[in-house]
A and B are shown apart, each in its own frame.
Chain A
Amino acid sequence: MERTSYVVMFTLGMTVLVALLLSALFYGTKDQAAINEDVFNKRAILGAISDHVEKDVKSMSDAEVLGIFNDQIEQVVLDMDGAVVDGIKAEKVDMAKEKKKPEMDRKLPLYVYNKPGGEKFYIVSIRGNGLWDEIWGNIAIANDFSTVAGASFDHKGETPGLGAEIKDNPVFARNFKGTKIYDADGNYTSINVRKGGAKNKTHEVDGISGATVTADGVSEMLYRGIKYYQPYFKKLKTGKGKPIGMLVE
């Protein structure tokens, strides 16, 4: 048996060495990791309008992703009443933190994509709960404020092959294209993920067999998350909102 002093010294030495090594490594990689994360998030947002950008979002270089964000996307932050919050960029809004706040205090990031040629898409960010952990997504809404132009989803820890299909399976997100969040009478319906297959293709998309809880989470998240943006969209529709899209030259 070793002397206690040796054990203590060994432990101390090991701890200091490992701590130094790991913190050096952490600080060395921190900046690049932050850039990677930023590009990753922006790529996910562009994923919602993948049909309307020139290149496949997945094969875009990091610089191209950032380029589109700089040149063609306006970032707006809204409060829950639909008023524009000044002095903050949408990309700085941390959806995970907003979700923990009481509903009335949340900030909503909105990305307005100006497609070359004049079309506009409003990309909203939503967040909810899946089976194991949080799920989130970006939904692009066309200029009529009802038609979904595209969607992208992600998750923290859904089961690969089941719940994780919301992200891994491009068909799931693609099915959202062309659905509408308002019915013909102008009532807010959102979009439902239906187990067993969509019956009403305007307001429903196919569910994923074996992932009912995740799918229900997506439905709930869509209903609640898109609803948050409606006060602002109403203002835009009636022309009372602060006009955005007039790119300040």
Chain B
Amino acid sequence: MAEATTAAKSAAAKSEPLFGKKEKQLITDPLYDNNPITIQVLGICSALAVTSLIYPSLVISVAVVFVCGFSSLITSVLRNRIPKSIRMIVQLVIIATLVTVVELSLKYFSYPVYKDLSVYIGLIITNCIVMGRLEAFAMANRPWRSFLDGIGNGLGYGAILLLVAFFREFFGKGSLFAGSPAEMKIIGPNADYFINTMAESGIGSMFSWYSNNNLMVLPAAAMFLIGIFIWIQRSRTPKLVDVS
């Protein structure tokens, strides 16, 4: 009986393309229609905490895509073997293991980035998106699809993170990608402000009248921005509005 179902399953898997419409949807849906942050409202905590600069947001996003994708894959492979009574603990162990892998590899390959982000990397464990997807999707779907779902949700999370970070860094610090090799100083404060991102030459010096908005640097700004994004998204796509 069990063998028959597995055989049927694998036959079904074979008849479907590896990267068909459904698979594509798994990646694209979380980017907009089912975005983990703006629609599911998951992972808000880290979206508020790490988005004051683009560069750390980018590294965190990549790490979340990795952790989310592979924890979904592993959970899905094990889904029929994980005892239901301790499944949350097992999921947590899988996530924590992957996060530790990320942390150790950063330490090995890029120590300065590790130094910058060590606090936040640990926080991925508590990121609701990762565990939410394991519980909601990976426990009930085949590995390949779960993997794509994890990647998709990681990307959806990262997209919002970068968008928020772009506005916060641009208006809060007047720079983009500060701290990375691609650092750009764009607008500078006037002399009354002492966050010293003054652009001394080039196009940036044209904006020397602009004072950096310190509110943008604080986590509250991320909440306003995410709220505005949700607003824009829902008014553009009425089907997302909850009729109840």
Report A's interface with B, CB cutoff 8 A. Answer: 1-2, 6-7, 10-11, 14-15, 18, 21-22, 25-26, 29, 32-33, 36-37, 39-40, 154, 157, 159-162, 165, 168-169, 171-172, 175, 196-197, 206-210
Contact = CB atoms under 8 A, between A and B. Distances in A.
B82 A10 contact: yes
Contacts of B97: 18, 21-22
A172 B195 CA distance: 9
A221 B178 CA distance: 26
Contacts of A208: 194-195
A197 B172 contact: no
A36 B90 contact: no
B113 to A, nearest CB: 11
Given A29-B107, A29-B108, A169-B196, A2 B53 contact: no
B100 interface: yes
Nearest to A39: B111
Contact of A14 (B53, B90, B107, B178): B90
30 contacts: A2-B83, A2-B84, A2-B85, A6-B83, A7-B83, A10-B82, A10-B83, A10-B86, A11-B86, A18-B93, A22-B100, A25-B104, A33-B108, A36-B111, A40-B111, A154-B115, A157-B119, A160-B50, A160-B52, A161-B53, A161-B169, A161-B217, A165-B195, A168-B179, A197-B194, A206-B194, A209-B194, A209-B214, A210-B195, A210-B218
B107 A36 contact: yes
Interface in B169-211: 169, 172-173, 178-179, 193-198
- By DSSP majority rule, is chain A's interface helix, strand, loop, or mixed? helix
Nearest to A29: B108
Given A33-B111, A39-B111, A197-B194, 15 more contacts: A2-B84, A10-B83, A10-B86, A14-B90, A18-B97, A21-B97, A25-B101, A40-B112, A161-B53, A165-B195, A168-B179, A169-B195, A171-B197, A207-B194, A210-B218
B83 A26 contact: no
A205 B176 CA distance: 25
Contacts of A157: 119
A169 B197 contact: yes
Nearest to A168: B179
Interface in B31-66: 50, 52-53, 56
Nearest to A35: B111
Contacts of B198: 171
Contacts of B85: 1-2, 7
Interface of B: 50, 52-53, 56, 81-86, 89-90, 93, 97, 100-101, 104-105, 107-108, 111-112, 115, 119, 168-169, 172-173, 178-179, 193-198, 214, 217-218
Nearest first, the 6 closest Cβ-Cβ pairs linking A and B are A171-B196, A36-B111, A161-B217, A161-B52, A29-B108, A7-B83
A197 B53 CA distance: 24
A21 B98 CA distance: 11
Max count, chain B CB within 10 A of own CB: residue among A6, A33, A159, A160: A160
B84 A1 contact: yes
Given A160-B56, A161-B217, A168 B178 contact: yes
Nearest to B117: A160
A22 B99 CA distance: 11
Nearest to A211: B195
Contacts of B105: 29
Contacts of B193: 209
B195 A10 contact: no
Which of A6, A22, A208, A210 is the most central at the interface, judged by chain B CB atoms within 10 Å of its CB?
A210
Contacts of B115: 40, 154
B52 A206 contact: no
B18 to A, nearest CB: 28
Contacts of B93: 14-15, 18
